[in-house]
């Protein structure tokens, strides 16, 4: 079972890229973030034509929004609100076999890494705290898969320069600490780093501001796939062959600034 996460930065604007990716890579499940549309405006027909008939969407006009597109039937669809806000940052669905996919778009947090001065950063920290509290309630047998744009690059080698980004939102110590608390809340495995440990550099996001993003390679790993202890063996079953950051997609015409990230489970 191949699961892909991708911050698409407007699904309607980039639907041709999505359908191209689905044709070339054929994941069983595609989780999208920042779809930037209401559910009524989601391009359902394009996904269905591509063979992804099972869809779960939580949308918002012009901002945020998450969706799951699947070849496999989806059940028990849930849209959870965090921090008392209705900003469409989570959707979950169950797959046959008891697998539960949670698709997140964690708040970016603005530019100033001070919760007292920056409400957006405070929101991000509170959001991570709520994630940790919720996942601490999962039972030991839960088959949970957490994916999405979590907007934190936690490892020193998840950014192009650890030293230069220590005071930049997405890699500050407080964010790394709180994301770590979410992982620890249920003993999740960060699949990418289990398969490709440091000091290997792993990036999934490159700024639009770079004239030549590949040459400068000033990236960050913001997009994640985690699994609960019950799924660790399955997630690691194919080793390096089962994990891929599709950085070539970042070079397609009018791309998202994020690359898709895929994990293939050995069930």
Sequence-distant (6+) residues with CB within 8 A of 260 are 4, 5, 6, 21, 25, 223, 245, 246, 249
Name the pTM for this structure.
0.98
pLDDT tens profile 170-220: 999 999 999 999 999 999 999 999 999 999 999 999 999 998 999 999 999
Max Cα–Cα distance, the chain, nearest Å? 48
Confidence of residue 109 (pLDDT cuts 50, 70, 90): very high
pLDDT tens profile 135-177: 999 998 999 999 999 999 999 999 999 999 999 999 999 999 9
- pLDDT at 249 (0 to 100): 98
| 32 contacts 11 by C-beta, under 8 angstroms | yes
- Find the helix packing angle between 119-135 and 173-186, rounded to 10°: 20
Looking up residue 113, the CATH number of its domain turns out to be: 3.60.10.10
C-alpha span between 45 and 213 (Å, rounded): 33
Q: To 5 degrees, how large is the angle CA 249–CA 262–CA 123?
A: 90
| 164: three-class secondary structure by DSSP | helix
Please state the domain count of the chain.
Answer: 1
H helices present in 86-172, as ranges: 119-135, 162-165
- pLDDT at 207 (0 to 100): 97
- Full residue range of the structural domain in which residue 49 is found: 2-264
- pLDDT at 99 (0 to 100): 97
Sequence-distant (6+) residues with CB within 8 A of 45 are none
pLDDT tens profile 224-247: 999 999 999 999 999 999 999 999
- pLDDT at 120 (0 to 100): 98
C-alpha span between 157 and 85 (Å, rounded): 33
Share of the chain above pLDDT 90, in %: 99
Tell me how long the chain is: 267
- pLDDT at 123 (0 to 100): 98
């Amino acid at each position: 079972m191949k699961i892909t996460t991708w911050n698409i930065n407007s699904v309607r604007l980039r639907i041709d890229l999505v359908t191209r990716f689905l044709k070339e890579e054929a994941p069983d499940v595609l989780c999208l973030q920042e779809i930037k549309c209401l559910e009524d405006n989601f391009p359902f027909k394009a996904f269905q034509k591509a063979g992804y008939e099972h869809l779960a969407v939580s949308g918002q006009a012009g901002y945020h929004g998450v969706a799951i597109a699947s070849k496999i039937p989806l059940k028990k669809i849930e849209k959870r609100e965090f921090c008392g806000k209705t900003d469409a940052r989570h959707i979950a669905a169950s797959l046959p076999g008891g697998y539960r996919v949670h698709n997140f778009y964690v708040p970016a947090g603005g530019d100033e890494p001070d919760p007292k001065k920056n409400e957006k950063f405070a929101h991000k920290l509170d959001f991570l705290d709520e994630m940790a509290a919720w996942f601490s309630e999962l039972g030991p047998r839960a088959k949970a898969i957490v994916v999405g744009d979590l907007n934190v690059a936690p490892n020193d080698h998840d950014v192009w320069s650890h030293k230069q980004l220590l005071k930049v939102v997405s890699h500050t110590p407080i964010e790394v600490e709180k994301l770590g608390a979410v992982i620890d809340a249920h003993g999740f495995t960060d699949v990418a780093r289990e398969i490709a440990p440091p000091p290997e550099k792993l990036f999934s996001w490159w700024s639009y501001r770079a004239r030549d993003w590949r040459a400068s390679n000033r990236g960050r790993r913001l997009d994640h796939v985690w699994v609960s202890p019950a799924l660790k063996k399955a997630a690691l079953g194919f080793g390096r062959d089962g994990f891929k950051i599709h950085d070539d997609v970042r070079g397609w015409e009018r791309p998202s600034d994020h690359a898709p990230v895929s994990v293939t489970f050995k069930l």
